[in-house]
Amino acid sequence: QVQLVESGGGLVQAGGSLRLSCASSGGTLNSYGMAWFRQAPGKERDFVAAISWSGQSTGYADSVKGRFTISRDNAKNTIYLQMNSLKPEDTAIYYCARSSARLLYGIQSRSYQYNSWGQGTQVTVSS
């Protein structure tokens, strides 16, 4: 069974950058679409970014377009989220997720389309 482990979160000032990583143990990510979601205190879990299994397609929430970049290294079985120009409203727990279906074209942005989730990593942006 795949286990996803996020890392790279932390405390950063507004305008700063962080790079999140999501690695897998016990299963491959290479044939699956992957995504990042986030959940702020008292709010629902929201879509942030997704990438197709091949890496050829990516998609972003409007709130992060132009600031965040999702990528993957299939050789390392790892996905990344580069976050630049961070804002206090980006403060949340960030989760990576693996799609429930293999080899789909395009990207998926709904949480129910993912069935493997990491434990999350906290990102806090101070003003």
Give per-residue pLDDT as tens, 34-74: 999 999 999 999 999 999 999 999 999 999 999 999 999 98
The radius of gyration of the chain's CA atoms, rounded to the nearest angstrom, is 13
Give whole-number Cα distances, 81 to 1, 43, 127, in Å.
Answer: 23, 21, 21
Mean per-residue pLDDT, 96-100: 96
Mean per-residue pLDDT, 22-42: 93
